[in-house]
Structure 1
């Protein structure tokens, strides 16, 4: 059966979360005049980025930032509010994103995103990257109340596209949350950002520029 559908994870697959965090940390340092509290700008940016890459509620992240840098509670609340509304606007794509999506569309693939995260937050990131128009479906865990690696979220996305797992390829950066569940359903899989060898991986790509070729190899 020919595979005519490509489903993507978002964060660290299409969106460069590390670069996005660096940009946003620098923005907040300037916007909230944090030099009053933290003379070392690079230290703040480094710690901000490190803490935001730990899986925990954002309020807890900012609480840790407040304590580490002795920030006022009201300032922490303002920074958290700013994050909720402005962070998606700072979204940075991995190089080659638009070019890759254009090529897939020209080859008549159905394209979708299945991502964990708050619905408005993830959709705003996708809008900021300028790729909403390429998507035939966008599924978020916040919308469904189901998170990857639960197979149900993958099946929901496939159902919206009216395709079977055997017609789809999933592209993601997380072996446990993306690749293993997609593979278990019958999809082919591409692990991004690594050349890790694993029986659950059909192939690997380090850069988005490699994806179209990998898709063509897995299509049949």
Structure 2
């Protein structure tokens, strides 16, 4: 079965979250390098990244703090300057190759609005966990992806930086997967034996057009 559609995760796949997490360290009033070190430790232990906030402020509620930041004029945000440099070229090449493209990740409604402003005309669909009422790694999220994409699950390549949230649940839903090595999860998860379950492993999104073409040629 050939790949006809590519669906991208957001954080550390399309968007470099360095600045975003830096602003969270500032909001918590802790040095950025201290926050990042604790963040990496939590991920390496296989824990939920949100536990990082609890270390510095027990009882921290991410939803409430997002609202407080918004009220204070310091909302979570990202823009063109936060996109990884390979994003635009990769999307253009994949589109030229005739592939159906989408962006789908665990994001807020506000983030979805930003994504739609950044990628108008570049992809066929943008969906978020808040839009769908289902969040990764729940199978329901990937079922929503499969419902929205005009292809069979086996024809969909889901691209992400995490094994737990992206590769393994997408594969369970019957999709092909690409694990990209960047961001905290990408570098930590590369050594996990489960990484071998990814259909392809990449260091740049610009590798995808050729890899998909090779995969499809072999499938035919």
> Do these two structures clear the TM 0.5 threshold for a shared fold by scoring above it?
yes
Aligned partners of 2:6, 2:122: CA distance in 1, in Å? Answer: 11
Distance 1:127 1:48 in 2: 30
In structure 1, the residue matched to 2:170 is 182
Q: Secondary structure at the match of 2:197?
A: coil
Match of 1:161 among 149, 153, 156: 149
Equivalent residue number for residue 103 of structure 2: 113
Q: What secondary structure does 1:177 align onto?
A: helix
| Residues 157/20 of structure 1: CA separation in 2 closer, same or farther (3 Å cut) | same
Q: Equivalent residue for 1:173? A: 161
State the shift of 1:50 in Å.
6.0
2:139 counterpart of 1:151: yes
Distance 1:10 1:180, change over 3 A: same
1:213 Cα offset (Å): 2.3
Aligned to 1:94: 84
Structure 2 CA distance, aligned partners of 1:136 and 1:11?
Answer: 19
Q: Structure 1 90/163 Cα, relative in aligned 2: closer, same or farther at 3 Å?
A: closer
Query: Distance between the aligned counterparts of 1:113 and 1:132, measured in 2?
Result: 11
Greater CA drift, 107-116 or 47-56: 47-56
Q: Cα RMSD over matched residues? A: 3.6
Distance 1:161 1:79 in 2: 33
Q: Does 1:56 align with 2:27?
A: no
Partner-residue secondary structure (3-state), 1:191: strand
Partner residue in 1 for 2:9: 9
- Helix, strand or coil: the match of 2:72? helix
TM-score, length basis structure 2: 0.71
State yes or no: 1:46 paired with 2:36: no
Shift of the 152–25 alpha-carbon distance from structure 1 to 2, 3 Å rule, reads closer
- CA change 1:21–1:163 in 2 (3 A) is same
1:45 CA drift (Å): 3.7
Normalised by the size of structure 1, how large is the TM-score?
A: 0.71
